[in-house]
Structure 1
């Protein structure tokens, strides 16, 4: 499984997104419940959000993003996608389990 960091830069402010926010939130909760969305939220002081997904491929990620209500509604001005190999930090225990370990990034000793 691959992990991707996605930044959505919006073309409307928070108030302009309110109409689609319930569908957006429901979509994110569904993705989180299915293990696809690992974490996400707005970037403070910015008109953008940051999300981390775990999927089989970039193509699968693109299908997930194409189904995002803010994307469908034309509220996203720019999307930045980067594959990510987490390696350090206090959240690694949750992200770097034996079944999720990237072969490129060794597990941290003592973290299971």
Structure 2
């Protein structure tokens, strides 16, 4: 699995892009590729947990969602995660 951490600003482009982003995440969740995602309580960023086999597969998903390069959204960390409980 992979954890992607985002940081947010109040850029209006982020708010405009969010509905399409959430729709895509919902579809990926139905496919089992996104386990969970959501913003921090203070809306300063978000965490997404992807269940894909490797970094290349993750990079493909990130590239397919323009939200990750939208002004006001910054990918601050990508880490491989090996949970022992799911």
TM-score range, shorter chain: 0.7 to 0.9
Q: Are the aligned partners of 1:23 and 1:69 in contact in 2 as well (CA < 8 Å)?
A: no
Return the structure number with greater relative CO, CA threshold 8 A, min gap 6: 2
For 1:55, what is the secondary structure of its paired residue? coil
For 1:35, what is the secondary structure of its paired residue? coil
Q: Which has the larger radius of gyration?
A: 1
Structure 1 segments (4+ residues) deviating >4 Å:
none
* Larger helix percent: 2
For 1:18, what is the secondary structure of its paired residue? helix
Gaps of 5+ in 1: 96-112
How many residue pairs were aligned?
A: 85
Aligned Cα root-mean-square deviation (Å)? 1.7
With normalisation by structure 2, the TM-score equals: 0.85
